[in-house]
Structure 1
Amino acid sequence: MIHLMELPNPDPLTGRPEHGGRDRHFCVGVASIEPLVEKLEAAGVAYTKSMSGRAALFFRDPDMNCLECVEMESWR
């Protein structure tokens, strides 16, 4: 899955949306988001769950890039 978004300036380190789903982001599919939630919480990494209700979450890396992980069945 690839999300393409047009933004006026995609690289600012400040002023980005708090919820990563409203910012440019990379998305990967995972079998379950619960193990990831546990690891993010243990490491003190802030995340938000998808506002759409999907089994997905968003978090930022140290450079403020947003990553999305969405729970999905294997497609192969």
Structure 2
Amino acid sequence: MTHEFEYKGIRYSVTVYEEIKGRWTWSFQIEDGVIRKCVDLPMEQEEIARKEVMRKVKWMIDHKKWLPPSQLES
């Protein structure tokens, strides 16, 4: 299941899937960049996983860590 969001005008998506029975794997992609696996937690810890994904996405956008090095210089 993939959800689309926007933060500071930058689009990103969060995907949640069951890789191991009873556990959800959360990954995210900012714009058209690399898909990054973020957390793998039991389904009961959905709220913790959601907060951790959002924290990482916002940090990467705020610090421009999702941009390729060539775009950082311009």
TM-score by length of 1: 0.31
Q: Which has the higher contact order (CA 8 A, sep 6+)?
A: 1
Bigger helix fraction? 2
Bigger strand fraction? 2
TM-score by length of 2: 0.31
